[in-house]
Structure 1
């Protein structure tokens, strides 16, 4: 497996905040995940740009319908997460 070395500079005033956010996974894993998420976001932007070139931009109605669907998905995810949490007084 090939690896690529990347140097990331974190401003000193943000270092503690980044360490806290990284938690147990460590800074290297945290930065790797952040870079992967950025790459994925960039790919999605390329896809959106291509789709807009092919089919035109979304209408306000289409955007509203998409947002409503995302809200429903987030609500369902939250319901499922809560169903998995132990209730007060129950053993975990």
Structure 2
């Protein structure tokens, strides 16, 4: 992926905190990963708004069913990860 150099202003204490924990990626890589994560969250929020506009709001029961499904998937994934020889 192509990269482009830009200038951003970041609070000094945040820069120092980041410098204390970065690996070979350095500060630029850390900031790029944070920006990519925020971009993904923004896109997910936009999708959720679009789906809500198109299909209406979820009921409390539907929201809880979705959270229960996510918890079950997390539990399944954690179980696979903890098995010896598992590739998950």
Q: TM-score range by the shorter chain?
A: 0.7 to 0.9
CA separation of 1:21 and 1:48: change in aligned 2, threshold 3 A:
farther
Name which of structure 1's ranges 23-32 and 45-54 shifts more when overlaid on structure 2: 23-32
Query: Is the partner of 1:58 in helix, strand or coil?
Result: coil
Structure 2 residue ranges without an equivalent (≥5) = none
Whole-Å separation in 1 of the counterparts to 2:35 and 2:7 = 12
Tell me whether 18-27 or 55-64 shows the greater mean CA deviation: 18-27
Give unmatched runs, 5+ long, in structure 1.
Answer: 86-92
Alignment partner of 1:23: what SS? coil
Counterpart in the other structure of 1:88? none
Q: Determine the C-alpha separation between the residues in 2 that align with 1:31 and 1:9.
A: 11
Cα RMSD between the aligned structures?
A: 2.2
Which of structures 1 and 2 has the larger relative contact order (alpha carbons within 8 angstroms, sep 6+)? 2
Q: Runs of 4 or more off by more than 4 Å in structure 1?
A: none
Residue matched to 1:31 = 31
**Quick check: which one's helix share is greater?**
1
TM norm structure 1: 0.73
User: Is 1:51 paired with 2:51?
Assistant: yes
Q: How does 1:1-92 map to 2 (within 5 A)?
A: 2-83=2-83
Q: 1:2 Cα deviation (Å)? A: 4.7
